[in-house]
Amino acid sequence: MAGSAGLYFVIVNNDRARFVRPGPDNRLHTIKTVDRAVLRKRDNDLARVTTARGPPVPDHVRFVHLVAERIKEDLAVDLFDHLVLVAPPEVLHDLAAMIDGPASARVIGSVPGDLANTPDPELPPHLETWLSCD
């Protein structure tokens, strides 16, 4: 893996996000899992994101916005060098659109699929493209 901070997988669906890294044992490990309710409680101000005009933003879009903010925070503390986004196509599209600046420059790929509930030991076949790039 390139760089000192390494590879970071953000695995998201409409209700749950997992932040996963390869460990020193060459296995993937979820370092944090959050669901929509937990993030909304923690970041109450961000959960009130609304559009300038029109109806309020749906809950799942607010959740994806909170995940994008978390990615930016993780980058700010050098938690990763390379980022892979994993989400169902509609969530992936929204998340990619919300990641900007330095974080967007760290995105090295994406996987369109819902792996949010896939156990860590079952993730490697889905992420082998990046795991084999040592």
Does this model's pTM top 0.75? My answer is yes
Q: Is 80 exposed, middle or buried (0-12, 13-18, 19+ CB in 10 A)?
A: buried
In contact, 34 and 23? CB cutoff 8 Å: no
Q: Taking Cα atoms as reference points, which of 97, 73, 94, 93 lies closest to residue 19? A: 73
Domain assignment present for residue 114? The answer is: yes
Domain assignment present for residue 76? The answer is: yes
Domain assignment present for residue 1? The answer is: no
Domain assignment present for residue 34? The answer is: yes
Write phi, then psi, for 125 (nearest 5 degrees): -60, -30
**Structural domain boundaries, residue 86:** 7-131
Compute the distance between CA of residue 113 and CA of residue 13 in angstroms, rounded to an integer.
9
Q: Show the tokens assigned to 91.
A: 């969530």
Q: What is the CATH number of the domain that holds 53?
A: 3.30.420.60
Q: Show the tokens assigned to 35.
A: 């669901």
In contact, 83 and 107? CB cutoff 8 Å: yes
Write out the chain's pLDDT in tens, 134 residues. Answer: 333 359 999 999 989 999 999 999 889 999 999 888 765 565 555 445 544 556 666 777 888 988 999 999 999 999 999 999 999 999 999 999 999 889 999 999 999 999 999 999 999 999 999 987 65
Write phi, then psi, for 29 (nearest 5 degrees): -135, 130
Q: Show the tokens assigned to 62.
A: 């607010």
Number of domains present in the structure of the chain: 1
Domain assignment present for residue 2? The answer is: no
Domain assignment present for residue 50? The answer is: yes
